Structure 1
Amino acid sequence: MFLTPELLEHCYRAGAFPMAGEDGEVELYRADPRCILEPADLHVSKSLARVIRSGRYEIRVNHDYEAVVRGCADRLETWISEEIVHAYVALHRAGKSHSVEAYRDGRLVGGLYGVALGGFFGGESMFSRTPDASKVCFVALVGRLIERGYKLLDCQIYNDHLGRLGATEIPEDEFLGRLADALAVEREFN
C-alpha cells in the first residue's frame, strides 16, 4: 500500500491508524479496546507540575513538525518508516496534523504529533531527549484541546506511561461512536 495524506485521513475517520513492520511495509490497524484520555482525567504528578512551573522547557506548536516525527522514529525499534514520515509531513502541510514541541536552550528535546480532524485529535507518537520533555508536551496538548473544545483524544494503544497520565480504555464500538460525534464538529487546532 502507498500511504498518501488522503488515505491517512480516510483511515482516521474510520478509526484505523498505520504502522510499518520491520520490513517497512505499512499496514492499517484498529485497537479493541481503544485507549483514550478524557481531558478532565489528565493526571499531572507533583514532580511534573514542578517541571512545568519551572519553565525549563519552551513549548512551541508546529515549529519543526518533521523533526518531531523523525525524533519519534529515532529509536531501535520503530513503526515509523520513511513512507510514514512523508505521508504525515504532507498531511501536516494540508493543516491536518500537528506537533507540540519542547525546546531547551533553543534545541528540540521532545515532542509529540498527531492528527486533528473536526473535534478529534489522534495522538501518534512522542519522544524525549531530556527528562519529562514529552510529558510537558502532552500536558500542553491536553490544555490546547480543552481550550479549543475538542471532544476526543485518541491514544490508540494503552501503555503504562499513558496510564500514569490518566489514559483509559474503552470498547472499540464506543470509540467509533465517539469518533463520529467528534468528527461532526468543527474545531481549529492553530
Structure 2
Amino acid sequence: MDRPTRLHWLDPLTPDQPFPAVHLAMREPNGLLAIGGDLSVSRLIRAYRQGIFPWYNPDEPILWWCPDPRAVLPPTQLRVSRSLRKAIQRADYAVTLDRAFSQVLDACAQPRRGSRGTWLGQPMQQAYAQFHQSGHAHSIEVWRQAKLIGGLYGVVSGRVFFGESMFSQATDASKIALYWLCQELIERQFALIDCQIASDHLASLGARQCSRVEFLQQLASTFASPCEPGRWQFQIPVPCAPAHAPLP
C-alpha cells in the first residue's frame, strides 16, 4: 500500500480543506497523517468524524494522527479491580459531568511526574474549551470535600467517546471518573471509548487493540443515531456531595 513521501500540509486559512485519506498515514511514527491547519471547531468536528485527532508539543506545528492499530475500550468491558470497586462503593466523593471543564483541562495540562513539559499547550486548551462550549467535548469530575481530585475529558463523535486526557490527585480518582463515565456511556448506548494508543495501563483497564479499518467502521456505524451536541447531565444515579461540602 502506498505511503506518502512527505506529510500532507493543511492550510490554516482554509478550515474546510479535506484531510488526506487515513490509509496514507505513516507507519513510523505510527499514524502521523498531516501537518498544519488550525484547531477551529469546524476542522475538529471533521477530524474526529474521520477518526483523526491532533497531538503535538507546544513548540511544534499542529500534527494530525490516525494510528493503526487503535486502542479502544467498550464501556461494558471496563475491568474493575477489587480495590477499585471498594473505592467506588465507599462513595466518599461526588461525581459530576460538565461542571468544571476548564479546571479538568488545566489539571490535565500540568506536567506529569518525571516530565518537565506538557503536550497540552495553550492553543490546545483554548481549542478544546471552545469545543466544549459548542457541545462536542465533555468532562467528568471527581470531588472530595468540594476539592477536585480527579477527572478526564474527551470528545464525542457519533456514539464514540474519544478520551483525550485524565488526571488524578488522589488514589484511584481518575479510575473512579472512568468508571462513572462508562456507566453513563452504557446508558447513552455508546459503542466505544477511543484510547488512541495502547499501553499496559490501558490494557489493565480492559482496553484492546483493533485495526484502523475496524475502528473506522464502528465509528461510521454510530452516525446512524449520533449523540447530539450539548452539555451533559447524568442519566444514571451517582454519588452526591455531602451537605457539608457543597460543590463549587
What TM-score do you get using the length of structure 2 for normalisation?
0.73
* Alignment partner of 1:41 is 2:114: no
For residues 51-100 of structure 1, what are the alpha-carbon distances to aligned partners after superposition, in whole Å with 9 as ceiling and x for unaligned?
A: 00011221111111011111111013422111111111101001111000
Q: Which has the higher contact order (CA 8 A, sep 6+)?
A: 1
Q: Return 17-26 or 175-184, whichever deviates more.
A: 17-26
Residues 120, 183 of structure 1: 8 Å contact kept: no
* Alignment partner of 1:100 is 2:148: no
Q: Return 31-40 or 42-51, whichever deviates more.
A: 31-40
1:149 partner SS: coil
Deviation at 1:185?
1.4
- Counterpart amino acid of residue 42 in structure 2: E
Deviation at 1:7?
1.2
From the CA coordinates, give the structure whose radius of gyration is larger: 2
1:55 equivalent among 91, 100, 111: 91
Residues 149, 187 of structure 1: 8 Å contact kept: no
- Counterpart amino acid of residue 20 in structure 1: Y
| Aligned Cα root-mean-square deviation (Å) | 1.3
* Runs of 4+ with deviation above 6 angstroms: none
Deviation at 1:13?
0.6
- Counterpart amino acid of residue 97 in structure 1: A
2:45 equivalent among 9, 13, 17: 9
2:55 equivalent among 12, 19, 39: 19
**Counterpart of 1:128?**
168
Larger proportion of helix? 1
Q: Percent identity?
A: 39
Unaligned runs of 5+ residues in structure 2 are 1-36, 234-248
Q: Find the aligned partners of 1:30 and 1:186 in 2 and give their Cα distance.
A: 21
2:212 equivalent among 149, 172, 179: 172
* Alignment partner of 1:147 is 2:187: yes
- Counterpart amino acid of residue 93 in structure 2: Y
